[in-house]
Amino acid sequence: MNDRISALMDGELAEGEAGETIGLLASDANGRQAWRTYHLIGDAMRQGRAVIAARPAANAPRWRMALPAVAIAAAVALVSWVAFLPVQQNQPAPAPMAKAEPPVQVPLPSAANDYLLAHQGFSPRVALQGMTAYVRTVSDQGEERRR
Partner 1 sequence: VMRGAALALTACLAAGVAQAQSPETQAWLRKMYDASQRLSYTGTFVYQQGSRSETSRITRYGAGDIERLEVLDGVPREIVRTRDTLRCYLPESKVVKVERREADRTFPALLPEKVGALTKHYDISLGESRRIAGFDCQAVLLTPKDNLRYGYRLYADSASGMLLKAVTVDASGETIEQFMFTQLAIGNVTRDMVRTRHAAGKWRVDNAEASPAHLSGWGLTAELPGFRKIVELKRRLGESRPVGQLVYSDGLAAVSVFIEPLDARREAVRTGLASVGAIHIYTREVANHMVTVVGEAPAASVQRIADAVEYRETRK
133 lies in the site for partner 1, by CB under 8 A = yes
Length of the chain: 147
- How many chain residues bind partner 1 (CB under 8 A)? 69
- Which of 3, 128, 28, 18 is CA-nearest to residue 74? 18
Nearer residue to partner 1 within complex by CB, 58 or 144: 144
Q: Is 1 in the site for partner 1 (CB under 8 A)?
A: no
* Contact yes or no for 6/59 (Cβ under 8 A): yes
Binding mask 58-97 for partner 1 (x = CB under 8 A): ----------xxx-xxx-xxx-xx--xx--xxxx-xxxxx
Residue 25's closest CA among 12, 14, 38?
A: 38
Separation in Å, CA 2 to CA 11, 12, 58, 73: 14, 13, 11, 19
Binding-residue pattern over the window 18 to 47 for partner 1, x denoting contact by CB under 8 A: xx--xx--x---------------------
* Through-space distance between the first and last CA atoms of the chain, rounded to whole angstroms: 69
Task: Determine the Cα–Cα distance for residues 104 and 145; give it in Å rounded to an integer.
Answer: 19
The window from 31-39, 42-50, 51-59, 105-113 that contacts partner 1 (CB under 8 A) reads 105-113
When asked if residue 123 is in the footprint of partner 1 (CB under 8 A), the reply is yes
Query: Among residues 118, 17, 115, which one has the least CA distance to residue 74?
Result: 17
For the bound state, the minimum distance from the C-beta of residue 6 to partner 1, rounded and expressed in Å, comes to 17
Distance CA 137, CA 141 (A): 10
Q: Does 3 bind partner 1 (CB under 8 A)?
A: no
Contacts with partner 1 by CB under 8 A lie at 15, 18-19, 22-23, 26, 68-70, 72-74, 76-78, 80-81, 84-85, 88-91, 93-97, 99, 103-112, 114-119, 121-144
